[in-house]
Amino acid sequence: MSGMEAEAPVGLKHKHLLGLEDYSAQEIHLILDTAESFLDVLERPIKKVPTLRGITVVNLFFENSTRTRISFEMAEKRLSADTVNFSASSSSTQKGETLRDTAANIEAMKIDAVVMRHSAPGSCLFLSRCLDSVIINAGDGAHEHPTQALLDLLTLRRRLGSLEGKRVTLVGDILHSRVAMSNIYGLQKVGAKVQVCGPAPLVPRHIQDLGVEVFWNVEEAIENSDVLNVLRIQLERHNAHHFPSLREYHEEFGVTADRLDRHASDELLVMHPGPINRGVEIASDVADSGRSVILEQVTNGVAVRMAVLYLLLGGKTREH
């Protein structure tokens, strides 16, 4: 990374990262290439570069998130940015303050970027219309979660090389997933074939209009996949119309070692955005197996977020 502070980070046409729907393949590759460089930094004894010194980033989390928040915070710290964490439980939102007011108050303290997690789809777009700061979407409802998709792409690219023509199947609750749409956009833009598999009520019917193939049988999906990205079953979002019980879900859709032994190619990789429900959507003997790249995803997450922060904010340090 030597000399990175002086390089102009050309290439991203966007001020914000609100989602991958509007990002080009070139921009996505630029982020991944940059993240590869940051992975090297993470292997050093001193895992910190001064790139964003003087930049202030606020992590505005209106929904619980452990992994994403820590990952962003770590990425910010390793770039030497100043970080402030705000979470809804300790926030003024419970006193009825609007999102605009909350954000505007924080921005008035002179910040450069907001990383936001919010349950409402479109809330990051809304925020970008309220503030001057750079906005990074850390998940807005079931809309987009672009850095998760980017870290998934980085993990696959490092494992498989080119993703051109690779068949990646998202397994589980597609309807409520904050990960699904960003993954579909990202994977398709880099040439992968996206498939989904899950209980029919949790698979939006119109997903096929996006060129996504649908499986209702997990074994058939496994046979036709190079990668399984197993999504978390979010217990709090389900009712009896979606599927009858966790037991039945596991019986019908659980990714188990037995199923993989019988139906998967030897090279098949298993991903999971976490947190995992062992014994529900994924069996322990899969999560902990050699096929699993779950912990690599976590490591890559920090590097991808460093890359995004660097590409969106690196220019600011040179303005002075």
Query: Rule CB under 8 A: which residues touch other proteins?
Result: 21, 98-100, 118, 120-123, 125-126, 140-144, 178, 181, 204, 206-207, 209-210
In this complex, which beta carbon is closest to other proteins, that of residue 150 or of residue 212?
212
**Smallest distance, other proteins to C-beta of residue 137, A:** 11
d(CA 298, CA 256): 22
- Is 139 in contact with 65 (CB distance < 8 Å)? yes
In this complex, which beta carbon is closest to other proteins, that of residue 140 or of residue 226?
140
Backbone φ/ψ region at 259: left (φ over 0), alpha (ψ -120 to 50), beta: alpha
**Smallest distance, other proteins to C-beta of residue 248, A:** 22
In this complex, which beta carbon is closest to other proteins, that of residue 113 or of residue 116?
116
In this complex, which beta carbon is closest to other proteins, that of residue 141 or of residue 315?
141
Q: 206 Cβ partners below 8 Å, 6+ apart?
A: none
**Smallest distance, other proteins to C-beta of residue 205, A:** 8
Please give the C-alpha separations between residue 68 and each of 60, 64, 119, 144, 262, in angstroms, as whole numbers. 12, 10, 14, 14, 34
In this complex, which beta carbon is closest to other proteins, that of residue 123 or of residue 148?
123
**Smallest distance, other proteins to C-beta of residue 181, A:** 6
In this complex, which beta carbon is closest to other proteins, that of residue 120 or of residue 295?
120
- At 239, the amino acid letter reads N
Q: What is the distance in angstroms between the CA of the first residue and the CA of the last residue of the chain?
A: 21
**Smallest distance, other proteins to C-beta of residue 207, A:** 6
- Is 125 in contact with 144 (CB distance < 8 Å)? no
**Smallest distance, other proteins to C-beta of residue 135, A:** 14
Please give the C-alpha separations between residue 13 and each of 17, 152, 155, 212, in angstroms, as whole numbers. 10, 22, 24, 27
